[in-house]
Amino acid sequence: MAAVEYVKEGRVAIITINRPEVMNAINNEVQRGVRGALVDFNKDDNLWVAILTGAGDRAFCAGADIKEFRPGPIETSRPSMEYLSGDGVKKPIIAAIHGYCLGGGEELALECDLRIAADDSKFGQPEINVGYLAAGGGTQRLPRFIPRAVAMDILLTGRFLNAEEALRWGLVSRVVPKEKLMEVAMEMAKTICTKSPLSVKCTKEAVLEGFNLNLPEALMVERKYANITRNSEDFIEGPRAFVEKRPPQWKGK
């Protein structure tokens, strides 16, 4: 049984961490599987959106497999999942989260563009409890995505947030009944797939590139990507389809 399942449904890629017997803990096989799936997703022009989730009923991902922990410099420990962030993947990734989303699992979710949580979800960075820290990007991304005081509370105490707290602080954008999680994730993915893939890519790139810049610099980034879309075939097709009252036929260029 593969540690990561990768399937394609139309224009949507579904990546499932498949170690439910250990709450989908991250080991080297999971690392390779997720990275390989994302490489394929990124280069496949027929795929426009990816959903990342976890198998079973208990967890999206409970973090790194502690049995594989080794002391020593981080270079000799498990590699980070940096492929997910920034320039790595040009298309949207939705995290469909249920159950425990802890440690490296929460860091995986933070590297996705959209996060939907089932109502049974629990979020946290418990690395502090085993003499470590959230070194998969947690100490840097979490304070950027939610208020710093809340992030420090989570990072320094190891406490968990429930789904409603995660929604309140902006860690996720939606909370849904557990049995509806993948249905809602697919609806969101299919909605994005009705938009120009070029516009979607440029929107993601503009947000990521401008995130840590001052406002004047960030607005210049926005203008750069706006000009890319305005000089595209999709920008001709979109208004034409609107006037003609028909669905647009996007080319992604």
Whether residue 251 is contained in a domain is answered as no
How many C-beta neighbours within 10 Å does residue 47 have?
Answer: 19
Say if residue 28 is in the same domain as residue 149: yes
- Token pair listed for 14: 């579904």
For residue 202, give its domain range.
197-244
Cα gap 37→159, rounded to integer Å? 32
Say if residue 181 is in the same domain as residue 120: yes
Whether residue 15 is contained in a domain is answered as yes
Residue 84, domain CATH? 3.90.226.10
Confidence grade of residue 74 (pLDDT, cut at 50, 70, 90): low
Say if residue 206 is in the same domain as residue 169: no
Whether residue 253 is contained in a domain is answered as no
> Measured between alpha carbons, how far is residue 57 from residues 90, 134, 155, 238 in Å?
30, 25, 26, 41
Whether residue 145 is contained in a domain is answered as yes
Instruction: Please say if 127 is a catalytic residue.
Output: yes
pLDDT tens per residue, range 127-180: 999 899 999 999 999 999 999 999 999 999 999 999 999 999 999 999 999 999
Say if residue 209 is in the same domain as residue 152: no
Whether residue 168 is contained in a domain is answered as yes
**Catalytic site residue from 9, 29, 82, 127:** 127
Residue 208, domain CATH? 1.10.12
pLDDT tens per residue, range 193-250: 999 999 999 999 999 999 989 999 999 999 999 999 999 999 999 999 999 999 999 9
Say if residue 122 is in the same domain as residue 12: yes
Whether residue 123 is contained in a domain is answered as yes
Domain count, the chain: 2
Say if residue 109 is in the same domain as residue 174: yes
- Token pair listed for 165: 């707290």
**Catalytic site residue from 106, 107, 111, 165:** 107
Residue after which a domain boundary falls, among 153, 178, 193? 193
Whether residue 172 is contained in a domain is answered as yes
Cα gap 165→171, rounded to integer Å? 8
Say if residue 233 is in the same domain as residue 213: yes
Say if residue 171 is in the same domain as residue 203: no
pLDDT tens per residue, range 110-121: 999 999 999 999
Q: Is beta strand 49-54 parallel, antiparallel or unpaired with respect to 93-97?
A: parallel
Instruction: Please say if 107 is a catalytic residue.
Output: yes
